[in-house]
């Protein structure tokens, strides 16, 4: 399935309003925040549309590895019963307090999620799968444990077979981003960068082995305006062949 081209203006406004508040009022704003907000704001607005499609406000939901809280924060403002789990939510405590979020500290790679079996209606796990470096079976196993039978996992991750990645392999001879830089984020940012990016087949196969049933695969873009000749070529190709888009859910 191909993602809709334009996000809902109301959703995008909610995201942008929260970005502005964080930039003005979060004194220890993470160094990555500004770039993250620019690159991910449209994707998060699309995420809100997916949330509205799959969930109702009365359901108990979990946003995993939620910092900088743009998705969980806007979901909370829309009236959703959302819990935000992060490795260190206190990094943005002022934002948590401002939003009135239920923010829980948990190392999802080593610890058990602090919820009862089959106690949640849905889990959002967006732009996190590629950061996991210790034990994906443990991490996804915990999510499978706490979500109800018939519940929903929304997972978004970069596409290792996107057009831009294929061009990078041809031009630079590298499969993924700079390894040293990604590991340096452990000290400079407080969490791991990208360990590895995966194909649709790899992720769906893994999830099925973990006991999940795949309902849909949606090919997605970051919705940034194409810059440069190659970016424009990539944009055209991805419109014709969505499977080459940079993200999938």
Using DSSP bridges, classify how beta strands 102-105 and 81-86 pair: parallel, antiparallel or unpaired: parallel
Q: How confident is the model at residue 48 (pLDDT cuts 50, 70, 90)?
A: very high
Q: What is the mean pLDDT of residues 34-42?
A: 90
- Give the residue among 31, 189, 33, 29 at the shortest CA–CA distance from 93: 29
Q: How confident is the model at residue 56 (pLDDT cuts 50, 70, 90)?
A: very high
Q: How confident is the model at residue 183 (pLDDT cuts 50, 70, 90)?
A: very high
Residue 189 confidence (pLDDT): 84
Q: How confident is the model at residue 58 (pLDDT cuts 50, 70, 90)?
A: very high
Q: What is the pTM of this model?
A: 0.91
In 30-158, which ranges are E strands?
Answer: 60-64, 81-86, 102-105, 120-126, 147-158
Q: Rounded distance, CA 43 to CA 21, Å? A: 19
Tens-digit pLDDT profile for residues 190-247: 889 999 999 999 999 999 999 999 999 999 987 655 566 666 777 778 778 889 999 9
Residue labelled with tokens 């009135």? 100
Residue 225 confidence (pLDDT): 57
Q: Rounded distance, CA 121 to CA 215, Å? A: 16
User: Which range is least confidently modeled, 50-54, 56-60, 222-226?
Assistant: 222-226
Using DSSP bridges, classify how beta strands 81-86 and 60-64 pair: parallel, antiparallel or unpaired: parallel
| Structure tokens, 59 | 């359901």
Residue 31 confidence (pLDDT): 84
Q: How confident is the model at residue 165 (pLDDT cuts 50, 70, 90)?
A: confident
> With pLDDT > 70 as the criterion, what percentage of the chain qualifies?
96
What is the residue-averaged pLDDT of the chain?
A: 92
| Structure tokens, 61 | 């939901």
- Residue 119's alpha-carbon distances to 43, 62, 122, 142, in angstroms, are 28, 10, 9, 12
Q: What is the mean pLDDT of residues 152-174?
A: 91
Residue 151 confidence (pLDDT): 97
- Residues 146, 62 contacting (CB under 8 angstroms): yes
**Contact partners, residue 10, CB within 8 Å, separation at least 6:** none
Three-state DSSP at 219 gives strand
**Contact partners, residue 47, CB within 8 Å, separation at least 6:** 71, 124, 126, 154, 156
- Dihedral sign computed on CA atoms, order 89, 139, 129, 196: positive
Q: Rounded distance, CA 181 to CA 192, Å? A: 10
Residue 2 confidence (pLDDT): 72
Backbone angles phi, psi at 234, to 5 degrees: -60, -40
Tens-digit pLDDT profile for residues 70-129: 999 999 999 999 999 999 999 999 999 999 999 999 999 999 999 999 999 999 999 999
Secondary structure letter of residue 19 according to DSSP: H
Residue 190 confidence (pLDDT): 85
């Amino acid at each position: 399935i191909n993602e809709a081209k334009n996000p809902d203006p109301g959703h995008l406004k909610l995201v942008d309003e929260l970005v502005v508040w964080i930039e003005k009022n979060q004194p220890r704003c993470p160094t990555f925040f500004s770039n993250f907000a620019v690159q991910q704001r449209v994707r998060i607005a699309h995420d809100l549309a997916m949330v509205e499609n799959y969930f109702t406000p009365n359901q108990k939901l979990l946003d995993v590895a939620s910092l900088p809280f743009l998705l969980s924060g806007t979901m909370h403002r829309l009236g959703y019963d959302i819990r935000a789990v992060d490795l260190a939510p206190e990094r943005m405590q002022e934002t948590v307090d401002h939003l009135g979020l239920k923010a829980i500290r948990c190392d999802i790679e080593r610890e058990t999620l602090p919820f009862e079996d089959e106690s949640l209606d849905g889990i959002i796990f967006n732009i996190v799968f590629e950061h996991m470096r210790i034990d994906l079976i443990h991490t996804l196993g915990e999510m499978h444990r706490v979500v109800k039978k018939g519940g929903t996992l929304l997972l978004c991750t970069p596409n290792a077979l996107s057009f831009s990645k294929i061009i990078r392999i041809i031009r630079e001879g590298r499969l993924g981003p700079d390894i040293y830089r990604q590991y340096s984020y452990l000290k400079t940012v407080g969490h791991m960068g990208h360990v590895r990016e995966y194909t649709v087949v790899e992720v769906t196969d893994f999830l099925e082995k973990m006991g999940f049933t795949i309902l849909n695969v949606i090919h997605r873009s970051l919705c940034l305006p194409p810059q440069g000749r190659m970016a424009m070529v990539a944009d055209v190709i991805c419109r014709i062949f969505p499977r080459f888009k940079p993200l999938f859910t």
